[in-house]
Structure 1
Amino acid sequence: MPDARLVLGDPAAPVTITEFGDLECPYCRQAEPVLRRLVEESGGGVRLVWRHFPLFQVHPHALVAALAAEAAAEQGLFWEMQRALFAQQDRLTEPDLRAAGARLGLEPGTVAGPGAQRFADLVEADYVAGLGLGVRGTPTLFVQDEQYRGRLDLDALRTAVAGAAPGVGGPV
């Protein structure tokens, strides 16, 4: 699966989980600590790749949130911005995004409005790639190149990782 720009964990990990997500999606927010823990407890065996899939039809701020996250990524702060935006999902207007960026030490004008528009191509590429893979909702996970259809809990994900690469993923 191409495009591993936004990687949590060891970039050389033997197992890749790719998440197509939406920063305004409550289910993505619920999955975030589980996925982080899976990566952290894998001993370098699992990396998480985030791909944007803003469900703009139902989440009116998902696209601008994705742009803000990409602006943060340019400064090496994607995962911090992701966590910040998940924590304030009910406040994702452009002024809210500027404030979140400022709290991370980013220039507020780069994370919202015209300053963030230069990242639209990256977000669109992720979205189009997701459509091509059959993504329809969020979060949609792929373990290696296979779509994951199980529960989004730590034990189920560890089992999926172990199935993709025996001995990887931490205790099952």
Structure 2
Amino acid sequence: MTTPLQVTSARLRLPVTETDHARGPADAAVTIVEYGDYQCRFCGAAYANLAEVLRQRGDSVRLVYRHFPIANVHPYAESAAEAAEAAGRRGRFWEMHDWLYQHQDQLDPVHLSLGVEQLGLSPDDVDTEVGGHAHADRVRRDFVGGIRSGVTGTPTLFVNDVRHEGGYDVAELLAAVDAAATA
């Protein structure tokens, strides 16, 4: 049985803007918006597959990442999202994003500080911002945008503003991208 929320939430409600974190050409034929949680193992699997999609369709796909930390299940997800934003403030969002997904089992504060340091950023500065929730509004904005678009779990993907209802293995994602590119 389909609930009204599922029926009305098939489209992205918060349009992509220049403030979003995006990889790939701005004029790409296909934009994938991912609502993700750095501590979610399913997002970790999708991360690797989306990287492969970008590798194979780099000229025609743009990936936008939005935060959707499910804090009641993943205790380090919000601080990881805020650390990514702190890195982003220094022009290093994607490097931190990659580190977080590649080290999902190391998102506690001690390991997170080590990761920040590995990226050449000041752990003290980033820890201060994360501890003071300097980027909580940005993370919350992404989360609320996800709720408005019907996101209830992670990862949730939208392909050209339409919710992707399929899986997130490479073959399914490539098929969705190719279909959207020719639509």
Common fold by TM > 0.5: yes
- Please state if 1:118 is matched with 2:131: no
In structure 2, C-alpha distance between the alignment counterparts of 1:37 and 1:90, rounded to whole Å = 22
In structure 2, C-alpha distance between the alignment counterparts of 1:110 and 1:148, rounded to whole Å = 38
**1:3: how far off?**
3.6
**1:21: how far off?**
0.0
**1:110: how far off?**
2.9
- Please state if 1:143 is matched with 2:129: no
Which residue identity is paired with 2:170?
L
Q: How does 1:145-164 map to 2 (within 5 A)?
A: 145-164=161-180
In structure 1, runs of 5+ residues without a counterpart are 168-172
Give TM-score, length-normalised by structure 1.
0.90
Structure 1: 4+ residue segments shifted above 4 A: none
- Secondary structure of the structure 2 residue equivalent to 1:18: strand
Aligned residue for 1:85?
100
**Matched residues, number:** 166
In structure 1, C-alpha distance between the alignment counterparts of 2:160 and 2:169, rounded to whole Å = 18
C-alpha contact (below 8 Å) 2:30/2:160 kept by paired residues = yes
In structure 2, runs of 5+ residues without a counterpart are 1-14
**1:9: how far off?**
1.3
Q: CA RMSD in A?
A: 1.5
| CA-to-aligned-CA distance 1:78-102 (integer Å, 9 cap, x gap) | 2221221122222212222111101
Which residue identity is paired with 1:94?
P
From the superposition, tell whether residues 43 and 95 of structure 1 become closer, same or farther in structure 2 (CA, over 3 Å). Answer: closer
Identity rate, percent? 42
Aligned partner of 2:124 among 92, 109, 120: 109
C-alpha contact (below 8 Å) 1:11/1:47 kept by paired residues = yes
